[in-house]
Chain A
Amino acid sequence: MSAEERDMRAAEFVLGTLDGEQRRAFEKQMDHDPALRDLVNLWEARLVGLNDTTSVVQPPQRVWIEIERVIAPGAVDDAVQAPLKTPWWQSLMLWRMTTAAALLALLAVLVPVLTQGPVQGPEALPVYDVVLRDTQDQPQWMVVCDWRAREVAVSRVAAAAPAAGKAHELWLVRGEGVAPISLGVLSGNEIQRSLPANATWRDTKALAVSLEPAGGSPTGVPTGPVLYAAPVSI
């Protein structure tokens, strides 16, 4: 297929004129042809303004209630009082907010440490620098995690102070199904903390900062959304 033909097919897919079978075939093709998906995204951006000819219509309340019921069975109708579908710290989605670049940077730090020889038994513990980024991928906190001295040093890079009545709390995230360990509320620009006895570097998958009520999580596990995070192992 010529480049022009590919582009026209992408345009017709976006326009919607392909028949059902052609659409399905095209979607399959897009799955393993990122360049084709890019063409589609470009056409989506070109044509999206055509939606301006459609006004807005408020959907009935029952649609939202049904959506809520599907994504969070047993949830109350008021989303504000509903619990999260699964706590973010149990979700692998957390790792996806962190970029490959962050991982590479981390490996650059971790690999020399972990491959240093000769290994001297349990004393060969890592010390690593972690940059916690926000959802826009901007660095907000620097954390030095020293597993030998069992200390954590946190420096504010750019993170804004939380709103009144709210706090930023730092967590060691230990993967799915295991509660994170709190390292306490972050206040000020330089924070030193000892690592709790139950924290081990092998179990620690990520560091994250969540938004909590003033004084920190009342339950011992994160109750608010994660604002900043970074993986610390793969």
Chain B
Amino acid sequence: MTETQAGSTLEYLVARCAMGDRIAFADLYQATSAKLFAVLLRILKNEEMAEDALQDVFIKVWHKATEYHVGKGAVMTWLLSIARYRAIDLLRRAKTAVQVDAEEGLEERAANEPDVAELAGRAVDNARLNTCLDELEGPRRACLVLAYCEGYTHDELSQRLGSPVGTIKSWIRRGLKVLKACLDGEGDYRG
């Protein structure tokens, strides 16, 4: 392994961050921040909140770099998870704090989103995941995508799709089980 090869991998950059290497940290930010920022924006729908969240995420990454290990999955998966969880926490907190009228907030968010049919049909690059998503009918697929990418709760999905919460919950669980069986049956879905 030459230093150049090693330096080109995110794993190596994180390992160097764990040792306090700020240059590696800047490289990691350079390589990943645009993707993470887009994910945060999509969930939070607010630039200022997304900027704050991105800052929190990278400060956390700097301090938690020692806790990363390959068992947690690929570095990008780890980073995206930290970002999504941060955004979802902020979203849930904002709701409790401001007591946003659910419907009003939802309409505002829905106005900036593609419609369910479009979402349900949207392809992902990962061919295997795509194939597996194709096994789900429209609303089931839309539930998973809206929850994952937009941070929707069961209640919000219920309002958005006009189906009872109980139905939404069972759609999601059913969808998750179908995905798991399909992905795990296909062997390695991490590629």
B37 touches A57 (CB 8 A): yes
> In the assembled complex, how far is the CB of residue A219 from the closest CB belonging to chain B, in whole angstroms?
16
Given A49-B129, A57-B41, also A72-B22 (CB < 8 A)? yes
Interface size class of chain B, counting residues whose CB lies under 8 Å from the partner chain: 35 or more
Given contacts A17-B153, A53-B122, A62-B51, contact A45 B41 (CB under 8 A): no
Residues of B within 8 A of A (CB): 1-4, 6, 11-12, 15-16, 18-26, 29, 33-35, 37-39, 41-42, 50-51, 54-55, 58-59, 62, 66, 71-74, 76-78, 80-81, 84-85, 88-89, 92-93, 95-96, 119, 122-126, 128-130, 144-145, 147-149, 151-154, 157, 172-173, 176-177, 179-180, 183-184, 189-190
Question: Are the C-beta atoms of B147 and A49 separated by less than 8 Å?
Answer: no
A91 to B172, CA, bound (A): 45
Contact, CB under 8 Å: A19 / B37: no
Taking CB atoms and an 8 Å cut-off, the chain A residues in 163-195 that contact chain B are 163
Query: Could you write out 17 A-B pairs with CB less than 8 Å apart?
Result: A14-B81, A15-B147, A19-B153, A20-B89, A41-B73, A45-B73, A52-B125, A54-B38, A57-B34, A59-B51, A63-B51, A71-B59, A85-B20, A87-B20, A88-B19, A96-B66, A211-B3
The number of residue pairs between A and B whose CB atoms lie closer than 8 Å in the complex comes to 198
**A225 engages B23 (CB within 8 Å):** yes
Asked whether A160 lies within 8 Å of B151 as measured between CB atoms, the reply is no
Which residue from chain A places its CB closest to the CB of B184 in the assembled complex? A46
A80 within 8 A of B: yes
A198: shortest Cβ distance to chain B, in Å? 25
Q: Number of A residues contacting the other chain (C-beta, 8 Å)? A: 65
Q: Which of A22-73 contact B (CB under 8 A)?
A: 23, 38, 41, 44-60, 62-64, 66-67, 70-72
Q: 7 other contacts beyond A58-B34, A71-B22, A84-B20, with CB at 8 A cut-off?
A: A17-B147, A45-B190, A46-B184, A49-B126, A136-B11, A158-B1, A160-B1
Q: In the complex, are the beta carbons of A162 and B3 less than 8 A apart?
A: yes
Interface residues, chain A, with chain B CB atoms under 8 Å away: 7-8, 11-12, 14-17, 19-20, 23, 38, 41, 44-60, 62-64, 66-67, 70-72, 75, 79-80, 82-88, 91, 93-94, 96-97, 134-136, 138, 158, 160, 162-163, 211, 225-227
Do A84 and B12 have beta carbons less than 8 Å apart?
no
A58 touches B55 (CB 8 A): no
Q: Which residue of B has the minimal Cβ distance to A7?
A: B180
CA distance A50 to B36 in the complex (A): 13
